Amino acid sequence: MAKFNPSVMIKNIENEIVDKQKDYADKILKKIIDTSPVKSGHYKLNNKVSIDTRDYSEVPGVDPGGSSALQRGRAKIDQVKKLGHEIIIQNNVGYADSIEFGHSDQAPAGVYRVALLGVAR
């Protein structure tokens, strides 16, 4: 009969929770980038991920396809290795709030709210 080791079971559960958190963050980030409106690609480039602390900087440049923002965000998400970290996804461009609250013909319902609802379903 195998000996029951609760600490191994707890560690496995913690790892599963971290994996699920990272999976959800990745899906949300991809949905945000895929649905971000594009005029120049500056807004899309500035969908950023940080861990535990918000990053209020703005990235110069453009990324109309979103591949650079997605790659950079996924690298950040992958840094989470244990339970207890907050994964933050945000956009700091000056017009991000206007886009989120319906002032874009390409994203009339916003971006972040739509992404969160879409992944939550």
pLDDT on residue 26: 98
Measured CA to CA, the distance from residue 96 to residue 2 in angstroms comes to 56
pTM above 0.85, yes or no: yes
Number of domains in the chain: 1
Question: Tell me: the pLDDT tens digits for 36-92?
Answer: 999 999 999 999 999 999 999 999 999 999 999 999 999 999 999 999 999 999 999
C-beta of residue 86 within 8 angstroms of C-beta of residue 51: yes
The per-residue pLDDT for 1 is: 64
Range of the domain at 52: 16-120
Distance (Å, whole) CA 69 – CA 52:
19
Q: Specify the pLDDT at position 121.
A: 75
Residue 63's contacts (CB-CB under 8 Å, 6 or more residues apart) are 41, 44, 45, 69
Q: How much is the pLDDT for 52?
A: 98
* Alpha helix ranges (H) inside the chain: 6-35, 42-45, 67-78, 96-100, 112-120
Confidence band of 34 (pLDDT split at 50, 70, 90): very high
Q: Would you say residue 28 lies in a domain?
A: yes
